[in-house]
Amino acid sequence: MRLRFLLSILLAWFAVEQASFGSAFSIRELGVRAQGMGGAFTAVADDASAIFFNPAGIAFQDGLQLEMDSLVVVGLFRFFPSITPPGTIVPEKGYHGSISPKFIPVGNLYLTKKINDRMTFGLGAFAPFGLAANFTNFNDGDPARGKYPGRFAGTRARLEVFWLQPTIAFKLSPNSSVAVGPAFIHTHLFYEQSILSPYDDGKTFGREVAEQLFPGQNPAEAARSIARLLPEGRFRLAGTANSAGVNLGYLYRHPGTHTNIGLSYRSGTAHHLKGKASFAFTDDSAIAPFLPESQTIEDLFPTQDAAGLFQTPATYNIGIANTALPGTTLAMDVTFQDYHRFRALPINFTQTSGTATPPERKIEFDFRNSVVVMAGIEKRMGEDMAVRAGFVFDHTPVPDKSTGPLFPDSSRFSLTLGASKRKGNTEFSVFYQAMNMVARTTNVTENNNQFTNGLYDNFVHLAGVGLRMYIGN
């Protein structure tokens, strides 16, 4: 019966797990109690969410624990372009980047079981990376003047990276422990953008077919004419990948000074995606009369199998915590992520002969490394109640050239609040986080034809609830 109960909870968790919109595509808000302290939990690690933050912490936890956390994200992303195509009508409040879904649920589940005095087993199911970006404010057949002008740089993206991580933690001594958590990783990516822009890729396509459509004419001039005659298209890629990773942890507790030091590492992963690429086009194609009768735009861009490579960064955490003040825990973490691994998203097509799809389309990002600083405090109000507060500074890994509809990102400051109430063997926790992204104005010459230069002004609300249960002793 107990096994059935745990399996039913696991299935329910997977039913609500979706992606978030974190710094670039990282998600750190995967423990409600921890996030009440701003996420400074690497050296605290004293509940089951330690499987994510620092798995070595479960070595000091007794009995059988089950923890479930759920997070809701409400992102308010606004973009005011500095350059637009002639005739574009820009909304008074800018373009809104949280069209759908407006509320993004993120769930995670942790279980720990003490095996003996030195060994503890844990199991975690969580999503440390995710993305839900949507700047699609139009239907394909709408007039171009009302469409989001940056659509040729991307309109929608959805990324979900699920980790299923069994973990073993060992006590090296009464005050130190290590842990290793090999992980099975399942990744799903959906990506969409408009194509055949008359200012950019439409000219590229025009040069490829200029000789066929306008033989004897100057290819550059013919390409410009063809670009203006093309219909607007939309490209979609959906792919999945299965891969492996590992989470390592170390925790040292110094009883004399009431100080903990924690270290953890989560491996970077190369996700080899396999899936489908599809294309759709508007019906107002002025180029149709110039094409051979046996060939249409749809024939040149067939739906086909495709493959891609998506890189997620490694994560390095160091934390310190102190409990010298009665009933008080002070903690601080520094996190480093090597986002420079995310240079590009290469997409390889399979039907290139006699079509307009190239062997490879590479979407450049050139991210830089990211540093996050977190600080938090927890104050226990008697044996059954605790309150928390925290602060987070997150330095964005997204450069100006890659700031746009998929990553309307900037560095941000966050304030967090949280509380827990325990009754018997059950503890209920809540937290709230206000995330203010620094207003960011981009001016990159190479992006002028994509119309992604301008002001990005964003704010995010996050709220979460968590339930921790001690089952058995």
Please write the tens of the pLDDT for every residue from 288-316: 666 666 567 788 889 999 999 999 999 99
Residue 286: the pLDDT is 72
CA angle 164, 168, 174 (to 5 degrees): 145
Confidence of residue 242 (pLDDT cuts 50, 70, 90): very high
Helix (H) or strand (E) holding 244: strand 233-254
Residue 315: the pLDDT is 96
Of 11-15, 241-245, 333-337, where does mean pLDDT reach its minimum?
11-15
Residue 98: the pLDDT is 60
Contact 76, 92 (CB under 8 A): no
- Strand, helix or coil for residue 309: strand
Pairing of strands 454-471, 426-437: antiparallel
How many residues are there in the chain?
473
Reading the block at residue 431, the tokens are 């937290």
Output the CA–CA distances (angstroms, integers) from residue 441 to 24, 159, 408, 409, in the order listed. 17, 26, 11, 11
Residue 322 reports pLDDT greater than 90: yes
CA angle 346, 186, 361 (to 5 degrees): 10
Residues 6+ apart with CB under 8 A from 371: 334, 335, 336, 337, 395
Residue 163 reports pLDDT greater than 80: yes
Residue 76: the pLDDT is 82
Helix (H) or strand (E) holding 298: helix 297-300
Decide which of 120 and 14 is more confident: 120
As a whole number of Å, the CA-based R_g of the chain is: 25
Reading the block at residue 434, the tokens are 């206000």
- Tell me what percent of the residues of the chain surpass a pLDDT of 70: 89
pTM given for the model:
0.88
Contact 111, 135 (CB under 8 A): no
Residue 365 reports pLDDT greater than 50: yes
Q: What is the DSSP string of 204-228?
A: HHHHHHHHHHSTTS-HHHHHHHHHH
Of 58-62, 330-334, 459-463, where does mean pLDDT reach its minimum?
459-463
Of 194-198, 199-203, 247-251, where does mean pLDDT reach its minimum?
199-203
- CA distance linking residue 202 with residue 40, whole number of Å: 49
**In the chain, domain spans:** 2-196+231-287+305-344+365-471
Most confident of 1-5, 40-44, 214-218: 40-44
Contact 417, 463 (CB under 8 A): no
Contact 178, 56 (CB under 8 A): yes
Report which DSSP code applies to 147: S
- What mean pLDDT is predicted for residues 415-430? 94
Residue 170 reports pLDDT greater than 70: yes
Residue 419 reports pLDDT greater than 70: yes
Of 50-59, 63-72, 202-211, 319-328, where does mean pLDDT reach its minimum?
202-211
Confidence of residue 1 (pLDDT cuts 50, 70, 90): very low
Decide which of 182 and 145 is more confident: 182
Residue 17: the pLDDT is 38
Class of domain 2-196+231-287+305-344+365-471: mainly beta
Nearest to 328 by CA among 44, 69, 112: 44
Beta strand ranges found along 115-148 (DSSP E): 119-134
Identify the burial level of 93 via C-beta atoms within 10 angstroms of its C-beta, where 0-12 means exposed, 13-18 middle and 19 or more buried: exposed
- What mean pLDDT is predicted for residues 53-63? 95
Q: What is the DSSP string of 382-429?
A: SSSEEEEEEEEEE-----GGG-SSS-----EEEEEEEEEEEETTEEEE
Residue 394 reports pLDDT greater than 70: yes
- CA distance linking residue 345 with residue 347, whole number of Å: 6
Residue 18: the pLDDT is 38
Of 220-229, 250-259, 406-415, 441-450, where does mean pLDDT reach its minimum?
220-229
Q: If you search the block for the tokens 């992604």, which residue do you land on?
A: 452
Residue 325 reports pLDDT greater than 60: yes
Q: Rounded to 5 degrees, what are φ and ψ at 146? A: -100, -5
Average pLDDT, the chain: 87
